[in-house]
Structures are given as C-alpha cells and as structure tokens.
Amino acid sequence: FNNGNHLTPEELVKLDRQNVWHHLMQHKIFETQEPTIMVEGKGCLVKDIRGREYLDAVSGGVWCVNVGYGQDSIAEAVCEQLKKLPYYAMSAGNIPAILLSQKINALLPNLQRVFFSNSGSEANEKAFKMSRQYFRLKYPQKDKYKILFRQRDYHGTTVAALSATGQPERKLGYEPLVPGFIGDLPPAYCYRCSFGKTYPHCNIECARVLEDIIQSEREDTVAALILEPITAGGGVIVPADEYLSIIQEICRKYEVLLILDEVVNGFGRTGKWFGHQHWDVDPDMVTMAKGMASSYMPLSATVVKEYVFEQFLGDPSDKLGYFRDISTYGGCAAACTAGLESTRIIEEQNLCQNSAEMGKYLLDGLKELESFPVVGQVRGKGLFAGIELVEDKKTKVPVSEQFLGKVLAEAAAQGVLLGKTNRSNPGYNNVIAMAPALIVTKDEIDRIV
C-alpha cells in the first residue's frame, strides 16, 4: 500500500503545501516556514520528516496520546479486530463496545450507560441533546433547555460545542451560534480572581455565584451546566478543593444536570482515572475522548447515570420518546478495541500512579521557575501543568503572544515540544502547557524542566 515511503521530504513538504489545510493555522506562515510533518514516535519521542527528534511534552500536540507512541499491542489488537469485523452500526452491538462500556462503567462506578461517538465535541453535543430531551420527556409542560457553561472552558468545535465554549475569540466569525447557551459563570481562577478575592478567604464566590445565575435565568429553564474539572485549553486552571462540591450542591438544588467534560482530564492525565475523582463530586454525565484510546483511533463517549438513561425508556411505538441520535462511526469495533487496549495498558502499568508521581516531580521542578521575573504562576495536577508568563508579577500583565511564541520556538529548537493554551481573552495567550505521556520518566521530565 502507499505509505509515502518512496517520497523525499522535499516532495512531501511540497505536496503538503499544495493539498493540506492544517487545523488552527494561519497558512500564510507556511510560505516562509515548513510545516512540521511527523513520521514516527516511540515512548515520549517523535521524529519529523527531516529526521529531527523531539521530546513531546504535549502528547501528540493536543494532550491525547496518553500511553505514548509505539504501543504495538494497540496496533495488533486493532489489526486483528479489523480483520474480524471492522464495523457494524451501533444500533446493533459489537464485542469491543460491550467490553469497553463495562470497563468505563467500572472506572466510573456512579455512572451506568455509555454512548459512543468519535470526538470530544461530539460527546459534548450528545450530552446537550440528552439534557434537553431528558427534561422534555420528564416535564413536557416545562421548557428546561438552557445549557450553562463557564468562561475560559473549551468544549469543542462543532456549533453547539462552540456555543458552550467560554473563549469568545474562538466564536468570532461563526455567529450566530446556538441560542440557549449561557456563559456567565466566571472561571475558578484564583490567580486572576473575578471577585478580587484571595483563597481561602473568598467563600468560593466563583462557585456560589452559580446560584444567582440559575435564579436570574429562572431555574425551570435551565437543563444543564457543563464544566471541565480542570480547565485545559483555557489556561490549565485547577479549581479550589471545595469548588466542585459547591457547584454540585447548587445543581442538585435546582435540578440542573452536571456534565463534566473529561476530554482532556480523563484517562490518567491528572493522576487519577478522571479529573473529578480528586474531589467530592458526583456528576450526572461525563464526556471523554482524547486519552480514551490514546488517540490511536478516534473515540469518545458520553457516560450517564442510569436515571438519565431510564427517562428515555418508553413505549417502543412512541416515535419521539427515545434518544434519536447516531454517529456512524461511534462505537466502531476497531476504535473500541483501541480504547480497551489503551485502558488495559494504563491499568496494568499503573500509569495513573505514574502520572501522580511524575506529575508531582514535574510540578516541583517547574515551581522552581517561579523565581524568574517572567513566571507569574506554575500550576497543575498530575502530568498536566501550566506556566503562566507575565511581564510584571505585581500587575500580572500577560507577556505578549510573540514572547510566548519565542519561548516555544526556542524549546523546539532545543528538542522539546511544549504547548500553549488558546487565547481566552485578547492578550491572555500566555500559558505554557505541558502534558507528557503517562509513561514519561524522571530523566525526560528533567529535560522538559
């Protein structure tokens, strides 16, 4: 088969420039700069088309190759499954989907039903549709449909997921977005508290204000709240320990479903299977993708409590009373096989524990950088860390994007790939992000630091 091996790097770069539309890139840049084309990886290392090797501190660029590169057993398992049965629609079933749902339900014992799809955005779309239909089935006389979201959180690229995203500049140019998505909840961002307070003397105002928001929207119109347990692309923001349980309490009081987006946090990234498991919170729905199959195959899921699922059980002759949703590839046998094998690797190699231990080592190392005038704050959990860069520690004025770009370029020139979080507000693209694979070693962390 054509794997491109007969082509020279120059030919491939030329073909790329002629044919490919890269994600999230201003293509003008490729007139003067070559696209980085990766060809192979092993462990935490990736090699590009020019033979340059990098220590990948961002697990595939977007924090998703959780078990690292070169896990042959995933490739072999997927290959075997592809030969046996590549695909059949999920209105029927397949063995890997059954086994993976069982595994996920065991990892999330308070949730009971798994709905598969292909990407994080889609998993969130399903959660929104489920929330709206859940209340329409439960209270046909009410119109409980609004979805609340938090500033700086990202939930995806599709139109409703984007509508639920708290990064305004991502939305510009794509409006009008979906009505009924309300983003008044401030971030749980102690370094830049929206209330000008200081933890722990703040009464966790950023969580308590949810009650005012629900009341001002009118509780009988609000269906759900979506949050990332730890905000990822919005700046690697770890909430105060009390935060999620206060949010939970308010959601319960007003019968608002709590959806936790574990697309980045999940599958060991923060040192536990799921980010929210660090805290006392019991969500109604959890969405996941990225690390679910360590991105060896596209795979995501929306996992819900049995009472959510049961609301959709009704008379089979009712043409409207079930969840009328399908993603062609969701639950595809080969992707679920990759998910099963990746999950087995995380479990058998104790990678959540490695993430916790190596994550602490990483954070301790990075904390030492706080003595630099340009480092405002270092934060993180498990193998997920951010360094917020500022021009001045007192005023907290963020460094310019150009400055951050220079830091990342210099790191890449020294063979380490770092990430940045996306602009939440103009000028706030000032956080270096790190999320190495869960198999990362101390030596590799030393090099990153």
Using CB under 6 A, list all residues that contact ligand PLP.
Answer: 62, 119-121, 124, 154-157, 228, 232-233, 261, 263-264, 289
Residue given tokens 């819900």 in the structure block:
304
Which of 129, 157, 132, 151 has the alpha carbon at shortest distance from 142? 132
**Measured from the CB atom, is 228 or 284 closer to ligand PLP?**
228
Closest approach, Cβ 50 to ligand PLP, in A, equals 27
Closest approach, Cβ 436 to ligand PLP, in A, equals 17
**Measured from the CB atom, is 232 or 416 closer to ligand PLP?**
232
Closest approach, Cβ 83 to ligand PLP, in A, equals 27
Closest approach, Cβ 115 to ligand PLP, in A, equals 15
**Measured from the CB atom, is 160 or 439 closer to ligand PLP?**
160
**Measured from the CB atom, is 120 or 382 closer to ligand PLP?**
120
**Measured from the CB atom, is 120 or 183 closer to ligand PLP?**
120
Q: 63 near 231, Cβ under 8 Å?
A: no
Helix (H) or strand (E) holding 127: helix 120-138
Residue nearest to ligand PLP (CB): 120
Closest approach, Cβ 53 to ligand PLP, in A, equals 25
Phi, psi angles (nearest 5°) of residue 398? -65, 150
Residues in contact with 432: Cβ distance below 8 Å, sequence separation at least 6, in sequence order:
386, 387, 389, 404, 407, 408, 418, 419, 420
Strand-strand pairing, 285-288 and 181-185: unpaired
Closest approach, Cβ 96 to ligand PLP, in A, equals 20
**Measured from the CB atom, is 287 or 311 closer to ligand PLP?**
287
**Measured from the CB atom, is 343 or 421 closer to ligand PLP?**
421
**Measured from the CB atom, is 275 or 449 closer to ligand PLP?**
275
Closest approach, Cβ 99 to ligand PLP, in A, equals 22
Rounded distance, CA 313 to CA 249, Å?
Answer: 27
Helix (H, G, I), strand (E, B) or coil at 433: strand
Q: In three state form, how does the secondary structure of 400-414 look?
A: CHHHHHHHHHHHHHC
Instruction: Return the beta strands (E) in 111-262 as ranges.
Output: 113-117, 146-150, 181-185, 222-227, 257-261
Residues in contact with 418: Cβ distance below 8 Å, sequence separation at least 6, in sequence order:
57, 58, 407, 408, 411, 412, 432, 433, 434, 448
Task: Give the CA-trace dihedral at 168, 172, 178, 181, to 10 degrees.
Answer: 10
Closest approach, Cβ 142 to ligand PLP, in A, equals 29
Residue given tokens 């046998």 in the structure block:
333
